[in-house]
Chains A and B, each alone.
Chain A
Amino acid sequence: MAKWVRLWGKKRGSRMSGWWLVGSVGEAAFFGALFLLGIVTLTIVVSWQVFMPESTWLRPGFGFWLMVTAACSFIVIGLTAFVLQISQTLASPEMRSALASRAKQEHVRRAEGDQASLANLPSLQSLTDSPGVKLTYRLAVQRGESTPLLLSALFTTAWNALVAVLAALAFQHFRSGDPNWFLNVLLVGFLVVSFFTTRWFFRLLRQQNRIGPTAVEIDALPLLPGGVYQLYLCQYGRTAFRELKLSLISFEETTFQQGTDVRTERREVRRIDIEMPEVPAKGLIADPERPLEMDCKLALPDDIMHSFQSEHNAIAWKIVVEGDAPKWPSFCRSFRVAVYPRSAV
């Protein structure tokens, strides 16, 4: 045993120098003391009122409830942190993780019966709950395209409401024979902004309605490395496309802390082109009576990484439809899929 117990430690690479137990015991003692302080305070405050109701000290009011709230928060914070600290001191991270995963496996086994362990692979339940018209599954489109439309609608409504109030004020001044020229000039500037935001909103709305929804169906899920799959693409709306392309794309996603912010970074790491049929003689045209339909083929290489998800990191695979139509900005819609390793199925 070391002759002197070191109270302070230094981080040396991935390990800490010093006696690791001292820090843990100190932290547990602090939170234990906080818990005791909360208990003692709450007991004194409440028992004072019960046993000495005639006393004028700490009568129920703002001060009384403040003391009760503070004491309760001390109890909750102290007890939670004390239990966490003790569990971290008594069990290594590996032991805690093993206990947690054992409990989780037991729960899954009871709920779903004996199954191979598919931890850290995305669940298929949300991907396979929608049957397709032509192929087995219809993939769900990832939300996010309607966000700009929603934001523009909110902004346009708020801005136009502000302009309406200013216009009413200006009109009132004008009727009373005392026009406010500063307000009038301000109103002109606000009207210009209002014109552009309203145009932006209607442009997005028209684009959304004109290009129409996209449906993608697939014959099997999960995807396996080396497998060949049939895809069916159906594009609704009233548009003639210059180009329409389907790809299977893999993204790495990581969540990390930067200062006090939690950030997520996403990076495309692999793109597999999906084989498309030949473009028809009349071109890639979708109209409300006859949507654009295409049968495609997806061939996966053998050396691709499977989908993966954990608390801070993920590898996600998506089928991405990218289109380019005259008069419209290019559009992109993505459909989540799951790639499993061959040995997991």
Chain B
Amino acid sequence: MAIVLPKFPRSRLSPQRRLTRRTEPALGLSLQSLQAGHEPCDVLELEYRVHRVAPAEVDQLEVSVMWYTEGKGGEDFGVHYFQSLSTDELRSVIDDQPRQLSVRLPASPLSYEGSLLKIRWCVRLRLYLLDGRKVSAEQPFYLGNLTVEV
């Protein structure tokens, strides 16, 4: 068994840098189901929240349920569900209450682990701030019950 200790920076951060770190926005995203895999046409339930940012600083928040390919070929992706939250809707997300969402999953494409290509599903959050910064978070999940390694 290996004991892994956290690595701390040798030098202390400057006060300004510490302030920047503290105010970096954070996205919380979790799936409600305890299972790693979801059947096609099931309902995917998830919740998300935004921390450490004032509503006035946020421009837009996008939620998407999507698939993308990985592997030797060019990357393809398809968006199954997409929502862009307006400023009023954003206020409730930025408050402490997490926002819940239910999405009915499609019949295809199923998650796939091949030799030249892989098909992955994920929920992706993108937060756009008014100062031009972008923060994103991703939660992968498995659609279907194919064998992991073909």
Shortest CB–CB separation between residue A13 and chain B, in angstroms?
Answer: 12
Residues 12 to 48 of chain B near chain A (Cβ within 8 Å):
39-41
Which size bracket describes the interface of B in this complex?
Answer: 35 or more
Residue of B nearest to A254 (CB): B73
Q: Determine if A21 and B71 form an interchain contact, defined as CB atoms under 8 angstroms apart.
A: no
Q: Determine if A119 and B132 form an interchain contact, defined as CB atoms under 8 angstroms apart.
A: no
B39: which A residues are within 8 A, CB to CB?
A: 343
Residues 249 to 306 of chain A near chain B (Cβ within 8 Å):
252-257, 265, 267, 269-270, 303-306
A315: which B residues are within 8 A, CB to CB?
A: 112, 114, 117
Complex partner residue of B74 from A95, A121, A256, A308, CB under 8 angstroms: A256
A306: which B residues are within 8 A, CB to CB?
A: 108-110
Residues 105 to 130 of chain A near chain B (Cβ within 8 Å):
116-121
A159 to B66, CA, bound (A): 55
Q: Determine if A313 and B117 form an interchain contact, defined as CB atoms under 8 angstroms apart.
A: yes
Complex partner residue of A94 from B62, B73, B107, B150, CB under 8 angstroms: B62
Q: A94-B126, A254-B117 are in contact. Are A305 and B74 (CB under 8 A)?
A: no
Q: Determine if A2 and B76 form an interchain contact, defined as CB atoms under 8 angstroms apart.
A: no
A255 to B71, CA, bound (A): 10
Kindly supply a per-residue 1/0 record for chain A positions 30-50, scoring 1 wherever the CB is within 8 Å of any chain B CB and 0 otherwise. 000000000000000000000
* Chain A interface, number of residues (Cβ within 8 angstroms): 42
Pick from A269, A270, A313 the residue with the most CB of B within 10 Å. Answer: A313
Shortest CB–CB separation between residue A24 and chain B, in angstroms?
Answer: 10
Residues 92 to 142 of chain B near chain A (Cβ within 8 Å):
106-110, 112, 114-117, 119, 124, 126, 131-134
Q: Determine if B69 and A303 form an interchain contact, defined as CB atoms under 8 angstroms apart.
A: no
A343 to B41, CA, bound (A): 7
The 3 closest A-B pairs by CB, nearest first: A254-B73, A98-B82, A312-B74
**19 contacts across the A-B interface (CB closer than 8 A):** A1-B131, A19-B132, A20-B134, A101-B78, A101-B79, A117-B106, A118-B108, A252-B114, A253-B116, A265-B116, A267-B115, A306-B109, A308-B112, A340-B108, A341-B108, A341-B110, A343-B39, A343-B40, A343-B41
